[in-house]
Amino acid sequence: MATLAMPNQASDHSHIEALAAEFQERFNQKSFELTHHLANHPLFKLERLMQLTKSIRETHPKDAYYDAGDIGISTRWDQAPKGVFSIDEAIERIGSAGAWVLLKKAQYDPDYKVLLDETMAELKAFVGKDLTAHIKRDEMIIFITSPKRISSYHIDRECNFLLQIHGEKTIHVFDQKDREVLPETEIETFWASDNNAPVYKPQYQNRANTYLLRPGTGVHIPVNAPHWLQNGDDISISLSVSFQFRDSVLANIYRANFFLRKMGIHPSPPGSSAVRDTFKKVTFGGLVKMRQLLDKNCPW
């Protein structure tokens, strides 16, 4: 029977456990389950999260968000019903509000920044190689969700570890390389213009890997792996610890393909031709830099 490996036995903080071989084989390639020791951490008590919400709302209001109401698997982010009360009230009423609360960049608070740094150090150690040059930023996001609430089908730019703190939820994670589930056109549009581009296809639901998340368990979600979630009968508190890679190379190829397709050209996907990929990333990257320079120097 395989044993669980700890990334740093000498550390005073050991938050994450995983199978080291599976971690290295599947990291950012396939989803997999892991365990953690954060379920009873004082930073995730509801009272402390209320303090965090107030702090984020006052200093970075765009990073504290909620919506409330009926959400389906296919509901777009921009179609979610907006809440009619404050985010503080949403948390106070979370048991019955049908709400989904999102606290981005929790590391603004120094206590959460310490925890993020500790957890990230362990995750990077599990990877087994230095990721520093490849990471644009890391982030801690906290989700507070009402019972039975659905989080609709989507993909993310981040390489994510979703850790369940309180309550239960079921997550369905699809293979990001399955082009019937996630066509090239949807990825191109996602990177170029529309965060809601991926479309749920119920006929492929049986292709998802399904995980029941309980306090102390978590799941790894690779970049662009489609997924959706269903909350259990209790309030859910979940922690997302994520890397955002320096995505300019792959992202610019997808963006270039998006615009080539608009011109009636059928572009080759990333990886099919190193020469084409290089041309696309250099050309589109140069256009992006030129646009940024013009925006910076523009007097109006």
pLDDT band at 8 (very low <50, low <70, confident <90, very high): very low
Residue with the larger pLDDT of the pair 180 and 134: 180
d(CA 122, CA 33): 16
Q: What is the end-to-end Cα distance of the chain in Å, rounded?
A: 65
Q: In this structure, what DSSP letter does residue 45 have?
A: S
Q: Per-residue pLDDT averaged across 76-96, rounded? A: 91
Q: In this structure, what DSSP letter does residue 10 have?
A: T
**What per-residue confidence (pLDDT) applies to 298?**
33
**What per-residue confidence (pLDDT) applies to 129?**
79
Q: Is the pLDDT of residue 213 over 60?
A: yes
Burial 136-163 (b: 16+ CB within 10 A, else e): eebbbbbbbbbbebbbbbbbbbbbbbbb
**Contact call for residues 124 and 21 (beta carbons, < 8 A):** no
Which residue's structure tokens are 């200093």? Answer: 59
Adjacent-strand bridge partners of 160: 221, 242
Checking 210-213 for CB contacts under 8 A at 24+ apart, the result is: 210/170, 210/171, 210/172, 210/173, 211/31, 211/33, 211/170, 211/171, 211/173, 212/168, 212/169, 212/170, 213/162, 213/164, 213/168, 213/169, 213/170, 213/171, 213/238
Q: For the segment 149-179, what is each residue's pLDDT rounded down to a tens digit?
A: 999 999 999 999 999 999 999 999 999 999 9
pLDDT band at 218 (very low <50, low <70, confident <90, very high): very high
Q: Is the pLDDT of residue 262 over 60?
A: yes
Q: For the segment 226-254, what is each residue's pLDDT rounded down to a tens digit?
A: 999 999 999 999 999 998 887 655 788 88
**What per-residue confidence (pLDDT) applies to 134?**
79
Q: Is the dihedral angle over the CA atoms 19, 126, 6, 225 positive or is it negative? A: negative
Residue with the larger pLDDT of the pair 300 and 41: 41
H or E element at residue 262:
helix 248-262
User: What percent of the chain shows pLDDT beyond 90?
Assistant: 68
Task: Name every residue whose Cβ is closer than 8 Å to that of residue 93 and which is 6 or more positions away in sequence.
Answer: 85, 99
pLDDT band at 294 (very low <50, low <70, confident <90, very high): very low
Which tokens hold the place of 48? Answer: 């402390």
3-state secondary structure of 35: strand
